[in-house]
Amino acid sequence: MKKIFNDNHLIAIAFITVFTLSATQKVQAEKPLSEVPVAIKYYGNVNTFPVFELSFNGNTEQNNFTILISDEFGNSLYRENIKGEIFTKKFAINTEELGESSLKFEIISNKTKNSVVFEVNRNSKIIQEIEIVAIK
């Protein structure tokens, strides 16, 4: 009888271990859905227009996005609905029309209703370098 009891005890421990590990993995799988999988970076200039790149790294749960670009006063400059999982999108911004106002990029996940907002402030600086070299 002792041998059967020990085997049942091991089976119970095995079940508890399996259920504990499966619950932990499920929590980790649901965590990324709370954030919008997007990043923004300054890409450079085309002519005199600054170019920004949005990189999306979605999945089957987050593959439908709305992109809103507005100025600091809330005027909408661009709006687009995009469906896709992993892609990039580049934007050339006409700064002559905007002046020195800042931009806001808002990306909304249409399925989870979560959003992320990036604010872009543009500052111009003129740098003059002077080099003095001793001549023999």
CATH of the domain at 97: 2.60.40.10
Task: Report if residue 130 sits inside a domain.
Answer: no
Question: How many Å apart are CA 40 and CA 90, to the nearest integer?
Answer: 10
Query: Is the domain of 81 the same as that of 24?
Result: no
**Residue 34 pLDDT more than 90?**
no
Residue 13 pLDDT level (bands cut at 50, 70, 90): low
Render pLDDT for 64-93 as a digit per residue (tens, 0 to 9). Answer: 899 999 988 888 889 999 998 888 999 988
In DSSP terms, which residues pair with 117 in a beta bridge?
A: 106
Tell me what pLDDT residue 30 has: 45
Tell me what pLDDT residue 81 has: 93
Query: Is the domain of 40 the same as that of 52?
Result: yes
Q: How many residues does the chain have?
A: 136
Q: 3-state SS of 55-102?
A: EEECCCCCCEEEEEEEECCCCEEEEEEEECCEEEEEEECCHHHHCCCC
Residues 52 and 41: beta-carbon distance below 8 Å: yes
Provide the domain limits for residue 2.
1-32
Domain count, the chain: 2
